[in-house]
A and B are shown apart, each in its own frame.
Chain A
Amino acid sequence: MKKLIFVAFVLLVIFACDEENSPVKVQYRVSDAYAETHISYQNESGSLESETINFQSAEDTWNYSFEAKHGDIVYISAQYADTASSVNISILLDGKVYKEKYSESEPGKIITVSGTIPF
C-alpha cells in the first residue's frame, strides 16, 4: 500500500507540474477604413477566408478572434478600391499588437500583415 501511495504521489508531482503549451488569443483587427474593403485572413483551422466589409466611418472596426498555438501562422490582408479610403490592419496576440500596417491612398494594393506566433 505504501508503495502504491508513493507511486501515485511521485506520478502526480512529475506529470501534474508539466507546463501546458498555453493557447494564445489571436485577434485580427481592421480599422481606419471609410469604404468597402476586401479582407482575407487565415482562421483557426488554417483555412483562408475572405469577406467584403462595407465600412461606413472611421470608427467602424472589424474584429475576428480565435485561439491558436505558439508557432501557428497568422495572416490577414486587406484591399480597397476607393482612392479616398485607407485601412489599418493589425494582429494582436493576447491583447498586444504583434504586427500592424497602415495604408492610405493605395487603391487596389493588397496590404498584408503576417507572421508565426512566437514560441
Chain B
Amino acid sequence: MKNFVLLVVFFLAFLATQSQEKSSISGNLIDQQTSQPVANAEIILIEDSIITTSDDNGYFVFKNLPKGYYSIRIRHIAYHDVVKKIKLNTGENIDLKFTLTGKSLQLEEFIVESESETDQIISKLPYIETSIVKREMDKNASRDVGDFLRSSNNIGGIRKGGTQLDPVVRGFKYSQLNIQMNNGQKIEGGCPNRMDPATAHVEIEDIEKIEVYKGPYALRYGQSFGGVINLKTVRPEPSDSFQIHINALKGYESNWNGNKEQLAVQGESKKVFFNLSGGRKDYGNYKDGNSNEVKTSFKKYNYKGQLGFVPHKNHSIIMTYEESNGRDVSFPTLPMDERKDDTRLISLDYNAGDITGLINSFNLKLYNSDVRHEMDTKERPFSDTTVAVSIINALNQGGRLEAGIPLSKGLLYAGVDFEQIKKDGERTKTMIKQPGLPVKREQLWNNAEINNFGVFAEYSITLGKFELVAASRLDFNKGISDSILVMHPMQGEIFHYSTDSIQSEYINFSISAGANQKITQNLTLSLSLGRGVRSPDMTERYIILLPIGYDKFDYLGDPQLKPETNNQADLTVKFTSHKIGLLQVNGFYSLVNDYITGKRLPPSIQKPLTQDVLGVKQFYNAGNARFRGFELTYSTPLHLKFGIKLYSSYTCATLDKVHKYILNDQGSVVDDVELENDALTEIPPFESKIVVHYRFFKGKFIPQLSYRIVAAQNHVSEASYEQETPGFSVIGFSFTYLFNKYFTVSGGVDNIFDKAYYEHLNRNIIGSNGNLYEPGRVFFVNLFFKI
C-alpha cells in the first residue's frame, strides 16, 4: 500500500509538470580564429544530462524545456570547454552564441568527457584513478557502497550478508585500503568480523562521487597502502540567487522485496546554504538462482543536516551532522547478526581558494565519527541455550589541513592530518537454560587507542612532454590499550597482557613518484613507483581470541608487529582517439614486505576461547607477499549513439612462505609444513565485462545490456584450505529514461536468466561449507524526482 501511495504521488507530480508551458534554448558555435561554424560539438544540459550535437552550421537546439536555471557545457575534441549558466522563463526561447577557442589535442578533454559519462576515467594521474559519478549509481539497483563498487574494474567485495560488503581493490583489503569520506573523514567499524566496514556507514544514495586511487601513490589522503577510496557525499553550494532544490527517490527491487526512499532539500544563496536529507531502506531475504531463500534481510535509515556560510569571497564553511542507523541486518556467514548500529558523523569544513598570490587553496577539516555497534546471536539456532550480545563503541576523530601552493610552474599540496581511533567493547553471554541466568562477560577491546599524526606533500608539474607527480608522507603512530585479561570458566586465566606490553609505536615513511609521457598525440605512457607503509590496525594489534579470519582459528593480536610495506610499480598505456575512443591498459607489480597474517600458536602456549575452532593464530609478519596483475578498459567515443565499454582485470597474489597445518579426520591439527609461493586468500579471479548501450532521443532514453564473465578461481590458498570457485557469466539489462527536467526513471533486470552462482569472495554459510549465493533474478526500478 505504501508503495502504491508513493507511486501515485510521483505520477500526480509528473502530470502537474507536464501542463507547464515549454521553452527552448538554441545556439550557434563559432571558431574564434576562423569564424567558421563548429560542427559535431557536444552540448550538454548539465542538470538534466541531456546531450545534443551541433550540426554542420554549428547550430543546436533544446526544445520543450521547463522554466528554470540551466548550465550548458560545450565540448569538442579540438576546443576548450565552455560552460554557461542561464535562466529560462516560461515560454521563452533563448538563442545563444558561443565562440570556441581551439587547443592542441590533450588528454584532459577525455577526462572531462569520461567523468560524466563513464565510471572508468582515463586519469591524467600516472596511476589508475577510477571515478564513479552519481548517475552511474542511479542506473543500478544500488543498495550498498561495497556492493556497487564491485561493478568497477578490479574491485571486488567480501560478501557476508545481503549488504555491507567489504571492498577489495586488486586483492588488497581491510586496513590495506584507506577508506574515507569527503577528503579525510575516517570511520572505524565496530564489528571485529568487519560486518560493518567504513563503507557500510555511508548510504549510497547520499554519495555524489566515488574516487578510487589504486596503489600506494595518493599520499595526500592519509596512509596509502593498496589504495584510497574517497566517498564524496552530496554537499550544498552557494549560489548567486536564492534557490531551493528538492530531490526525491523511490526505489523497488523484486526478489527480496526491497524498498528504499530518499529525500533531500537543498537551499542556496550567496551567503548561506543548507542541505537536509533523509532516507530509509527495508529489504527482506533474497532467493538465489536455485530459489533457495538466503537470510539476508536488513533495515536502514539515515538523516543528515548541513549548513554552510560564505564569510568572504572564495571562503566557505560547512558544518555537517548525520546519522545512519542499521537494524536487524542478517549475516548468514558470521556467528552474529547486526541488531543495531547507530553511527553519528560530525564534520566541519573550511575551504578557501585564491587567498593570496602565494596560496591557491586552503582546506581544513575536523571530524568525529562515532559508531555504536550491537550484534547478537538471538536469531541463531543455539539461542535457546546461550544468547551472546556484543556491544562495541568505535570512535574515530581527527582532522586534516592542506594548502595548495603554486611553486615553480608546478603545484604543491602540503599539509598535516591527525587521526585518533578508540575502541572498547565486550561480549555478554547469557546461559538462558541454566537456573539464575548466569552471565559471562568477555572483553573484545579494552579502551584500545591508536593515534596517527601525518605530514604530507605532493608536487605536480608539467615539463615538456612529461607530467610529473611526486608525493611523500611521514606518519607517527602510537597504540595503547588497557590491560587485557581473558578468563575461562573451566581453565582459569587463558590470556593476559599487562599495560607495559601492549604499547606500540611506529614512524613510517611513504613516498611515490610518477610520470606521464606523451609518446604521440594519442598515446601516453605512464609509470608510477611507490612505497606505502601502514601501521598494524586495531584488530591486528589488540584483538583477543575471536574467530575473525578466513579460516577456523581464534585470532590474537600482537602489539609488537612491524608495519607492512607495499613497494609497487604501475605501468599504464593510454590511447585516446576521437574516432576510436579510449583504451587504457595497466600492469602492476607489488612486493609487500612484512605481510601481516596469522600463525598458529601451540595449545601449550595459547588455548582458544571459542568452541569448535582449530586453535589459536596470532598475527605476525610473514615475510614477502607479491601482487601482480593487469587491468584493461576500453570505451567508445562519447559522441556515438551506440556505445561499448569493456573491462577486464586479473590479479595474482602469493605469499613467499607460509605454514600449512595438517588436520586429521577429527579436524585437529597434527602437523605443519612450510609452503612456498602459496596463493593469498580472497583474491578475485580473472573477469571481463562488456556493456553496450544506445542513446535514443538525444540521450533521453538509454537502454544498456551488460555481460559479465568471471573465470573459475583455481589459484587458491592451500595453507588456508581455501575452496576453488567455479566460473560463471551473468547478463543484466538496465535503462534510464529522462521524462523531463523533473522526472527520471531507471530500471532493469539483474541476473536475467536467474543463474545460481557465487563470487569467490563470498564467505561460506556459518557452520557448514555451504556457499553464500548471489541473488537470483532481480527486477528493479528507481523513480527520481527533482525540482
Contact = CB atoms under 8 A, between A and B. Distances in A.
B84 interface: no
Nearest to A77: B435
Interface string A22-63: 000000000000000000101000001000000000000000
A100 to B, nearest CB: 14
B437 A14 contact: no
A19 B413 CA distance: 50
Given A71-B378, A73-B387, A114 B265 contact: no
A110 interface: yes
B9 A114 contact: no
A21 to B, nearest CB: 8
A7 interface: yes
B787 interface: yes
Contacts of A6: 13, 246, 787
A18 B261 CA distance: 11
B431 to A, nearest CB: 9
Interface in B427-467: 430, 432-437
Nearest to B327: A21
A115 B433 CA distance: 8
B339 interface: yes
A75 B432 contact: yes
Nearest to A72: B378
A14 B280 contact: yes
Nearest to A40: B436
Given A3-B787, A7-B263, A119-B379, A112 B435 contact: yes
Contacts of B261: 14
B430 A3 contact: no
Contacts of A17: 2, 5
Given A6-B246, A13-B9, A115 B384 contact: yes
Contacts of A105: none
A73 to B, nearest CB: 6
Contact of B280 (A9, A18, A110, A112): A18
A84 interface: no
Nearest to B1: A17
B248 interface: yes
A45 to B, nearest CB: 14
Interface string B228-239: 000000000000
A114 B437 CA distance: 9
Interface of A is mostly: mixed
B430 A73 contact: yes
Nearest to B10: A10
A41 to B, nearest CB: 10
B349 interface: no
Nearest to B265: A7
B288 interface: no
Contacts of B280: 14-15, 18
A97 interface: no
Contact of B435 (A14, A42, A110): A110
B96 interface: no
A18 B244 CA distance: 27
A116 interface: yes
Contact of B376 (A71, A110, A112, A114): A71
A38 to B, nearest CB: 11
Nearest to A111: B435
B776 to A, nearest CB: 24
Nearest to B301: A18
Interface string B1-20: 01001100100010000000
Contacts of B387: 73, 116
B432 A3 contact: no
Nearest to B430: A73
A7 B266 CA distance: 11
Contacts of A9: 9
Contacts of B328: 119
A75 B438 CA distance: 12
A114 B383 CA distance: 10
Contacts of B433: 112, 114
Nearest to A17: B2
B419 to A, nearest CB: 35
A56 to B, nearest CB: 26
B432 A115 contact: yes
A42 B437 contact: yes
B780 to A, nearest CB: 18
Nearest to B328: A119
A3 B246 contact: yes
Contacts of B263: 7, 10-11, 14
A81 to B, nearest CB: 15
A53 B485 CA distance: 42
Contacts of B301: 18
Nearest to A50: B436
Interface in B172-226: none
A71 B787 CA distance: 43
A114 B376 CA distance: 17
B437 A73 contact: yes
A77 B431 CA distance: 13
26 contacts: A3-B244, A3-B246, A6-B787, A9-B9, A10-B6, A13-B6, A14-B261, A14-B263, A14-B278, A14-B279, A15-B278, A42-B437, A71-B339, A71-B378, A73-B387, A75-B437, A77-B435, A77-B436, A112-B434, A112-B435, A114-B384, A114-B433, A114-B437, A115-B384, A116-B432, A119-B328
The 4 closest A-B pairs by CB, nearest first: A110-B435, A17-B2, A114-B432, A14-B261
Given A13-B5, A71-B339, A115-B432, 14 more contacts: A3-B787, A6-B787, A7-B263, A13-B2, A13-B6, A15-B280, A18-B301, A71-B376, A71-B379, A73-B387, A112-B434, A114-B433, A115-B384, A119-B328
